[in-house]
Amino acid sequence: MENRKDVICPQLLYLDPNDKFFIETFLPEANLGEARDVSEDEFRGIMHDFGRNVKSLHDIKLKKFGNIALEGVGQGRFDNWLDMFWDFFPCLKECAKEINMDEATYERIKEIYAEQKDYLIAFNDPRLLHADLSYNNTRVCPKNGKWSFSGLIDFADALAGDPLFDFGEFLGDCSGSWKEVSLMEETYLDGGKFTTTQRKLIRFYAVYFCLWWITVTHKEKKEKHSKTLYNLVNMRFE
């Protein structure tokens, strides 16, 4: 990563050999969620730079799938992408209990998974993923009186996998709003747009994140992620 000048991110200064913490250089000045009075034009510029950086990140090809082991960068532990989702149904069952999920929603989530299963089996082009894209990990700073993108932070959860996975995580973090994703794709796809098939995949990944978040977060955030989950499940792509 330190040799990739087109990916704006911190430089690793120290990595604890016991994998308890790491120290990296500081990127100014605030997380995107903390920045105040960001205009629409500034926000568009931030998302465009965000898209360019994520594209450069995803250009890095890796080997196996899943979490990247510290002792073997580029080596996930799974031989196929489907195995990354081994916990999907356990998370679904636990989530259903946590939020008293109705039967129709439960069955629809199973359908959303089934729609993508063949793709998850066939996908065989693992790329470097941030795997924790969010407002909190997007840094911005004032430049010439305007807010601008200053980089991505916190690569502790980096994965080898499908680039659309990153967009799904960000979609989930944005409560199921496509606004940010649509701005990012303008530069990520050089003016193109995600296809309906790709958007359904992104939605699936966002559902996966929401199920996981609901099982591990406190009550206030459970409610937020529950609303996002229902929003995602009821999306239409016509």
- The domain limits of the chain are 29-233
Name the pLDDT band for 13 (thresholds 50, 70, 90): confident
Of 17-31, 123-137, 201-215, the range with the lowest mean pLDDT is 17-31
pLDDT of 43: 96
pLDDT at 74: 56
Name the average pLDDT for the chain.
Answer: 91
Most confident among 30-34, 108-112, 173-177 (mean pLDDT): 108-112
Q: Identify the weakest region by mean pLDDT among 4-13, 34-43, 199-208, 212-221.
A: 4-13
Tally of helices (H runs) and strands (E runs) in the chain: 7, 8
Q: Looking at residue 72, what is its pLDDT? A: 55
Which pLDDT does position 69 carry in this prediction? 59
- pLDDT band at 2, cuts 50/70/90? very low
pLDDT number for residue 103: 97
Tell me how many degrees the CA angle 155-196-159 measures, rounded to the nearest 5. 15
Average pLDDT rounded to a whole number, residues 193-211: 97
- For the cut 60, the answer to whether the pLDDT of residue 3 exceeds it is no
- The residue among 191 and 69 whose pLDDT is bigger is 191
* Sequence-ordered strand ranges (E) for 17-72: 22-24, 30-31, 66-67
Q: Quick one: pLDDT band at residue 1, thresholds 50, 70, 90? A: very low
The pLDDT of residue 4? 54
Render pLDDT for 119-148 as a digit per residue (tens, 0 to 9). Answer: 999 999 999 999 999 999 999 999 888 999
Q: Which CATH architecture has domain 29-233?
A: Alpha-Beta Complex (3.90)
The residue written with tokens 């568009």 in the block is 44
Distance of alpha carbon 126 from the chain centroid:
15
| pLDDT for res 230 | 96
Highest mean pLDDT among 65-74, 177-186, 215-224: 177-186
Rg (the chain; Cα; Å)? 18
Q: Would the CA dihedral through 109, 93, 86, 229 be positive or negative?
A: positive
Average the pLDDT over 77-82 and give the result: 92
147 by DSSP, 3-state: which? strand
**Tens of pLDDT along 99-111?**
999 999 999 999 9
Residue 73 predicted with pLDDT over 70: no
Question: Per-residue pLDDT for 172 more than 90?
Answer: yes
